[in-house]
Amino acid sequence: MTKVKICGITNLNDAKIAVDYGADAIGFVFAESVRNVSKEKARSIVQKLPPFVTAVGLFVNENAENIEATCRFCGLDVIQLHGNERPGILNKLKNFKTIKAFRIRTERDITPIKRYKPNAILLDGYSENQMGGTGTSFDWRIIKKVKTSKPIIIAGGLTHLNVSHAIKIANPYGVDVSSGVESKPGKKDRKLIKKFIDAVKGQIITDYGSDQFK
């Protein structure tokens, strides 16, 4: 079944909602963004996550030493590199699982992927001014041209209205959503999260009201 990551988490309540409705991973943005979160806030949320939920830290053009220090402080499981990082940085981050993001406009933008050896590849929509979280989509048929044995995650412009179609076309390992489940930038919407995960998982998900955050 396709995995779901809810990215751009900024507070405990949004994390709780995402987990209650079945998110497999939640993401924290440690880069310039309306969804930026402090190390201290991320750590306090991660400490309250239940077992089997993956905590991902998103970084943009940060050096390996700072990335690893942040991940250790917060207790993160996975590093997501969402900038113009060179392939060599992955050799310095071997203590963590890694996701390398690529912004896609045309088929030519998948060419650099073969130079990287992360644990997974993320393909995102392209924006001239932002590295991610823009709500910009891309032609999902391009994914069929990617030559990699790594799991592929798709992001960019996904909502509950189109994610099923995206999965049908691309058959990805996972989907990553941020702005598509927000009521405003940086604030998640309970109903949109539920609709999105329902659309991905193809099942009715109830409000568990889980106790693991208490």
- Is 74 catalytic? The answer is no
The answer to whether the CB of 28 falls within 8 A of the CB of 18 is no
Q: Which of 14, 124, 139, 207 is catalytic?
A: 124
The pLDDT value recorded for residue 136 is: 74
Q: Which token pair is 25?
A: 């991973």
Q: Which of 7, 24, 74, 176 is catalytic?
A: 7
The pLDDT value recorded for residue 135 is: 64
The pLDDT value recorded for residue 204 is: 46
Distance CA 80, CA 45 (A): 18
Tens digits of residue pLDDT in 4-22: 999 999 999 999 999 999 9
The pLDDT value recorded for residue 211 is: 53
Fold of 3-201: TIM Barrel (3.20.20)
Return the domain boundaries, the chain.
3-201
The pLDDT value recorded for residue 202 is: 84
What residues are paired with 123 via a beta bridge? 102, 154
Distance CA 104, CA 102 (A): 6
What string of DSSP letters covers 14-45? HHHHHHHTT-SEEEEE-SSSTTB--HHHHHHH
Q: Which residues of the chain have pLDDT under 50?
A: 204-206, 208
- Is 7 catalytic? The answer is yes
Nearest to 113 by CA among 137, 141, 146: 146
The pLDDT value recorded for residue 137 is: 86
